[in-house]
Structure 1
Amino acid sequence: MRSCGFQWSLSQLSDDFSPAHEGLHAAVRRSYGTPRRATGNEVGNSLGALLRFPRLVRVKGQLGELEDAVMTRVWRWNRPVTVREVLEDLQRERSIAYTTVMTVMDKVHQKGWLRRELEGRAFRYSPVSTRADYAATLMREAWARSDSPQEAVVSFVAMMSPQQREAFDSALRTIEVRESASGEK
């Protein structure tokens, strides 16, 4: 049985436990054992649990640790890259084989986050979208899993630091300006 270092309770994973939540709760029980009572407001609603403890439920297309390390470089360089270039940069931090990096980049390509073009005998990989687009996709997918989108957003905003709330408010103002400029609502 794995331990993820936090306490939680099924009742805290959602405000209104229902059979619809049973799949999530069963998966959590299988992965992390029988729940213990959490103290305070450690978990909140089901989206809160997904956002605070992303290991509970994997979002389709979500990047693993090594995939994220690869994509961080691809996004930072913002140009077509080879497996060899990524390998050499990763080797500054860890011991890793060429075939491992090649497999990881192929998996990220299959997930739709990288495009590749054959150049000679090697593929050159480039990002399909930005890191911001990736983060937005994860948030949208997590939100879509919620049975109460309004409560999910309230819980999400409540978890933000003051700097994150400021960025969130700024983003909302930007959207309002764009919509008013284009006549949308």
Structure 2
Amino acid sequence: MATHEPQEPAGRRRANGALEEEILGLLHTAGRALTPGEVAEHLSTPLAHTTVATTLARLHTRGVLERAPQGRSYAYTPVTDESGMTARHMRQVMESGADRESVLTRFVDELSDDDEDLLRRLLGTDE
């Protein structure tokens, strides 16, 4: 008799990127490298081990995670902290635009006054 690993409830699918986001959150808060089995144990929705392992491998291939052999598997850790991941994502989005100057100009135009002041301080251009 075959056993089936847990999967998402029928009819309910995660939004694109939601599983990756949850996994990255778990890895950031874990404070140590986790195997696919350990990640699967802490997910909000039970998933097949193969689904978790595949997602971790994809994040590793994209350079988001580092991995080291642990037993017959790998243990994964983020390459940077949450702020670093957000900054990396912001840069990737900005670089995907056809007109980098226009994208950056729009981004700055839409900053709150507090964020604009912070950016000026960071750039050393306090006025």
TM-score after normalising by structure 2: 0.71
Match of 1:170 in 2: 118
Identity level (%): 27
Alignment of 1:32-181 (within 5 A): 64-90=17-43, 93-160=44-111, 162=112, 165-176=113-124
Paired residues of 1:75 and 1:130 also in contact (CA < 8 A): yes
**CA distance 1:169–1:79, change in 2 (3 Å):** farther
| Alignment partners' CA distance in 2, 1:130 and 1:171 | 20
Give the 3-state SS of the residue equivalent to 1:75 in structure 2: helix
Per-residue displacement from partner, 1:38-62 (whole Å, max 9, x unpaired)?
Answer: xxxxxxxxxxxxxxxxxxxxxxxxx
Letter in 2 for 1:96: L
CA RMSD between the two structures: 2.4
Letter in 2 for 1:143: M
Paired residues of 1:109 and 1:116 also in contact (CA < 8 A): yes
Larger Rg: 1
| Alignment partners' CA distance in 1, 2:27 and 2:116 | 26
Structure 1 segments unaligned to the other structure (5+ residues)? 1-62, 178-185
| Alignment partners' CA distance in 2, 1:157 and 1:138 | 16
Paired residues of 1:80 and 1:125 also in contact (CA < 8 A): yes
The answer to which of 115-124 and 104-113 deviates more is: 115-124
Please state how far the C-alpha of 1:99 moved relative to its aligned partner. 1.4
| Alignment partners' CA distance in 1, 2:71 and 2:98 | 50
Paired residues of 1:78 and 1:127 also in contact (CA < 8 A): no
Please state how far the C-alpha of 1:103 moved relative to its aligned partner. 1.0
Letter in 1 for 2:70: E
Letter in 2 for 1:112: G
Per-residue displacement from partner, 1:54-73 (whole Å, max 9, x unpaired)?
Answer: xxxxxxxxx82211111111
